[in-house]
Structure formats: C-alpha cells, structure tokens
C-alpha cells in the first residue's frame, strides 16, 4: 500500500511534471507527498573558480561560497513552494525539505521511510534528463529497495498497464507491484514475455498462476527479440499508460557486456516507468 511518496525536485519544468504526477498518485492512494530539494554540496566547493583564479594570479570572488549557497537555497525554496502549492490544491497532505548534501545519497536516505519515489524526466535533450537520468536516477534505482517511478507525464492514465516479465527474482517483485497498481487503478494489464531464444511458456504459466486470484483483466503477450527494444516497442505499440519492470535483473558483468534493459527503458520508454528492486 502506497502511503508516503518522495518527490525530488529541482524546480525545472520536467521536475514539476513529476510533482504533478506524484500528486495525482497520492490522491488516488490517500498518500502523503514528501517534496525534497537537495542543494548539491559539490556546487558549494567552488573548485573551478579557485583553479581559474589561481592560474590567473587573482583573488577569488569574495564570499563566493556564501553567495552561491544563498542562490541555491532560494532556488530550492521556490521549487518546494510549487510542490507544496500543487499538493494543497488537490487536497493532498504534503511536507517539504530543502537540505544540503550529496544529491544521490540524500535521496537514498530520504527514500528509506517512503513507499514510492517519483522522479520527473523529459526528452533526450532536456537538462533534467542529462543531469539526473544520466547519473542520479540510475544510481538511485540501482541502490534503493523502494519502487521508483520515472515519468514525463503530468497525469496518470489507466487504459493499459504493461509488466515485462521473465521469471527472475526482480521480475516477480515487479509482478506483485503490477498486480497491486492495476487493481487500484482498475487498469487492464498486459504481461509481456520476451523469448530472446529461450522458451517463455514457463514464465507465462507462472505469471498466470500468480495473477489469477487477483481478478484482473489480463492479456499475455509473447514476443521474440532483444528484450530492451521489444519491451519499449511494445509499450509504444499498445500506447501503454505505465510500464512496470524489475530493475537490473542481470549481473553487472552482463550489463556491461550487452547493456542494461533497465537503462534502455529509462531513456526510451514512451510512458511512465515503474521500476522495482
């Protein structure tokens, strides 16, 4: 049951998009929103300015760190005010925090006592995507034990949810989460099994056996091909409103050699992506 939702925000358009989505989810579940802005400790060190000043033989800008800290803190306050306003407009309980620290580590610490983390994303050229999905989001997904929802939409839909299932431990956890969210949103669920040269019948039977008591509208789909491309392609083909996956189900060695299905989905999924560990 989702009762606490963590929403990191930097105040960008894409982050606000994530906040709006999180508020809608919170309203559906009667959950509380925890807005978080992290003032990146690395930005307060001023190494670049000091290095340039030293090379030029000049003194660094007076009180550089103090001024930058004030600017970043004010930016965080504005971002959190937006988060607070959006939640209250929808009657959603909300708390906000503006803290200084290492971004990834702080998000992980704050996620320990929540049920879901929601992070906004947008197109491949957006600053939020380059700054977060390229590092922080992937790192958070790898290390947190909580589900992470990455979205570029403001409003959840419930016409069709898709779960990518391969019978692995992470996929089984994702199947449980998919059953819960599909039931809560009354959304039809497609169970997608990608053969990729293997026999998928066992995974289909396993998923069918688990989902049958949940009384959901379920469709089982078997496809062949590269899992990354097939999963993303199918989500686009059926115009999915949510794609659920187990995060990083393979070994680090395999991910380095053949690439990560999770990373590919995070950067190419045409719909909100719910990742579980």
How confident is the model over 100-115, as pLDDT tens digits?
999 999 999 999 999 9
With a pLDDT cut of 90, the percent of the chain lying above it is 63
Q: Is the pLDDT confidence value at 17 over 50?
A: yes
Give the residue with greater pLDDT, 228 vs 249: 228
Average pLDDT value over all residues in the chain: 85
Non-local (6+) Cβ contacts of 12 within 8 A are 120, 126, 127, 128
- Could you please report the per-residue DSSP string of the chain? ---EEEEE--SSHHHHHHHHHHHHHHHHHT-EEEEEEEEEGGGGS-HHHHHHHHHHT-PPPTTHHHHHHHHHHHHHHHHHHHHHHHHHHTT--EEEEEEEE-HHHHHHHHHTT-SEEEEE---TT-HHIIIIIIIIHHHHHHH-SS-EEEES-SS---S-EEEE--SSHHHHHHHHHHHHHHHHHT--EEEEEE-TTS--HHHHHHHHHHHGGG---EEEEEE-S-HHHHHHHHHHHTT-SEEEEES--S-HHHHHHH--HHHHHHHH-SS-EEEE-
Domains identified in the chain and CATH numbers: 4-151 (3.40.50.620), 161-276 (3.40.50.620)
With a pLDDT cut of 70, the percent of the chain lying above it is 82
Pair of tokens at residue 259: 């690439």
Give the residue with greater pLDDT, 124 vs 75: 75
- Closest alpha carbon to 227 in 251, 204, 203, 193: 193
What gap in Å lies between CA 167 and CA 1, rounded to an integer? 23
Give the residue with greater pLDDT, 242 vs 43: 242
How confident is the model over 221-235, as pLDDT tens digits?
999 999 999 999 999
pLDDT of residue 262: 87
Mean pLDDT for 125-144 is 62
Mean pLDDT for 56-83 is 75
pLDDT of residue 161: 98
pLDDT of residue 62: 53
Mean pLDDT for 77-92 is 97
pLDDT of residue 41: 81
pLDDT of residue 251: 46
Q: Is the pLDDT confidence value at 214 over 50?
A: yes
Q: Which of 24-33, 42-51, 73-82, 157-166 shows the lowest mean pLDDT across its residues?
A: 42-51
Q: Is the pLDDT confidence value at 58 over 90?
A: no
Mean pLDDT for 78-100 is 97
pLDDT of residue 54: 52
């Amino acid at each position: 049951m989702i009762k606490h939702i963590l929403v990191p925000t930097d105040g960008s358009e894409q982050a606000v998009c994530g906040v709006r989505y999180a508020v809608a989810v919170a309203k559906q579940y009667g959950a509380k929103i925890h807005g978080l802005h992290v003032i990146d400790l690395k930005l307060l060190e001023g190494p670049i300015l000091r290095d340039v000043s030293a090379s030029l033989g000049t003194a660094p800008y007076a009180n550089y760190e103090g001024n930058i800290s004030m600017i970043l803190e004010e930016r965080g306050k504005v971002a959190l005010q937006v988060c607070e306003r959006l939640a209250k407009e929808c009657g959603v309980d909300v708390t906000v925090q503006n803290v200084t620290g290492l971004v990834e580590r702080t998000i992980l610490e704050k996620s320990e006592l929540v049920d879901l983390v929601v992070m906004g994303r947008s197109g491949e050229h957006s600053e939020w995507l380059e700054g977060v999905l390229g590092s922080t989001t992937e790192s958070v997904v790898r290390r947190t034990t909580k589900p992470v929802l990455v979205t570029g939409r403001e409003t959840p839909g419930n016409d069709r949810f898709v779960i990518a299932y391969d019978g692995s431990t992470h996929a089984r956890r994702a199947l449980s989460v998919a059953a819960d969210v599909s039931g809560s949103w009354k959304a039809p669920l497609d169970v997608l099994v990608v053969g990729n040269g293997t026999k998928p019948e066992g995974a289909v039977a396993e998923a069918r056996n688990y989902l049958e008591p949940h009384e959901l509208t379920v469709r089982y789909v078997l496809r062949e091909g590269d899992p990354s491309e097939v999963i993303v392609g199918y989500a686009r083909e059926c115009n999915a409103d949510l794609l659920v996956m187990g995060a990083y189900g393979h070994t680090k060695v395999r991910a380095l050699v053949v690439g990560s299905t999770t990373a590919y989905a995070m950067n190419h999924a045409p719909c909100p992506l719910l990742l579980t560990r």
